[in-house]
Amino acid sequence: MTLAAPDRSLDDPVPHAKSASPVMVLFALAMGGFAIGTTEFASMSLLPYFSVGLGIDEPTAGHVISIYALGVVVGAPLIAVLAARLSRRTLLIALMSVFALGNGLSALAPSYHWMLAFRFLSGLPHGAYFGVAALVAASLATPNRRAQAVARVMTGLTVATVVGVPLASWTGQVLGWRSGFAIVAGLALLTVTLIVLYAPRDTVQPGASPLRELGALKRRQVWLTLAIGAIGFGGLFAVYTYVASTLMAVTQVSAAVVPMVLAVLGLGLTVGTLVAGWAADRAQMPSAGLMLLWSALWLAAFPFAAGNIWAVTLVIFMIGAGGGLGAILQTRLMDVAGEAQTLAAALHHSAFNIANALGPRLGGMAIAAGYGWTSTGWVGAALALGGLAIWALAVLDQRASRRG
């Protein structure tokens, strides 16, 4: 990927002081994504252990997962607006410091209610961090390679599903669940150090203000792009949430096989994100539409493949690859938000977490209604097609605006 001087349309007009290699900047930003991805997904596998440790049942412990997602949804727009007058470097350091604090406190939580508070705190910086990190990454690349730069930052999140989550889960089982959150706190502190060392020293954009950031909410294309993610992404989560149970109940594999299949999904996410970044730099909206159609087809294939371990593993890899849509939508929001870059970029992760709540909810309803574990594939396909319908509406609206 060719990197160049900062793109002034996305960053401050004042040249940066002597900065490190753009590759190291992207690595530092991706490390933050790795830390966030590790805690977001490892919390699910640690749930049985901290439920016992805190003296609560597993359904109640599930609220710990939900409260983190709520923190993401609330924190992304709130922080983006209130921190409008901070430089991006300063904001990244502050966000990852709060993230480290929240996870460190989670490792020390003395009770269920304190755990809820600490997980909510941990979730607050999540969306804003990714939004600001994406803007910094895009500013380092030539205009025709911005999506690839954003994709490289987001691979921190996808690689976490392959490496970070198994590591935190294994450590949590061997050393106790608290160690899993402690590892994430350590990764966050490492990210803070890397950002201090390598992130470019920028200045606050002239005219930056909370009111200007709120201007993003007046743009119809911003809302349509967010809706594509909130609905279209739900399909992946509808299957991902119940894949372990499906593998054991339908495919009839041992519990030891499940982590390996989940790692394959993570590999699919990583490959899909990198490919999507490349494609988005060439044809942004067509790539988004193709990615949604790809997801719908492979999610629909899931019920037919679930009976065979080799077939279902292939399908799960392909479903994971559909997650590359995230890099496309993140870059799209930069293009349609005008001067309200930070809020729009951060809101992408609020939409992502809405999908993370919607997909499992609808998938669970289908299972509870008696349609079986594999019905999550049909639910997922329907959500992907719903996202495709919104995508089509966004394309038509954009064309109408250009003609007008």
Return the domain boundaries, the chain.
16-208, 215-404
365 with 263: CB under 8 angstroms? no
- What is the per-residue pLDDT across 16-69, written as a single tens digit (0 to 9) for each? 434 568 889 999 999 999 999 888 777 766 777 787 888 887 667 777 877 888
How many C-beta atoms surround the C-beta of residue 290 within 10 A? 17
What confidence tier does 354 reach under pLDDT thresholds 50, 70, 90?
confident
State residue 7's pLDDT score.
42
Helix (H) or strand (E) holding 240: helix 234-240
State residue 311's pLDDT score.
96
Q: Over range 61-85, report the average pLDDT.
A: 82
In whole angstroms, give the CA distance from residue 36 to residue 184: 8
Q: Over range 261-290, report the average pLDDT.
A: 91
Tell me if 16-208 shares its fold with 215-404.
yes
Among 76-90, 185-199, 257-271, which range has the highest average pLDDT?
185-199
153 with 169: CB under 8 angstroms? no
- What is the per-residue pLDDT across 309-320, written as a single tens digit (0 to 9) for each? 999 999 999 999
Backbone phi and psi for residue 206, each to the nearest 5 degrees, phi listed first = -60, 135
Backbone phi and psi for residue 3, each to the nearest 5 degrees, phi listed first = -115, 150
The mean of the pLDDT values for the chain is: 85
The CATH number of 215-404 is which of 1.10.1060.10, 3.40.1010.10, 1.20.1250.20, 1.20.1730.10? Answer: 1.20.1250.20
43 with 64: CB under 8 angstroms? yes
Nearest to 27 by CA among 140, 127, 125, 124: 140
DSSP 8-state code for residue 269:
H
State residue 16's pLDDT score.
41
State residue 12's pLDDT score.
41
The structure tokens listed for 139 are: 């500013």
Three-class SS state of 203: coil
Question: What is the domain class of 16-208 according to CATH?
Answer: mainly alpha
Helices (H) and strands (E) in the chain, counts: 17, 0
State residue 20's pLDDT score.
62
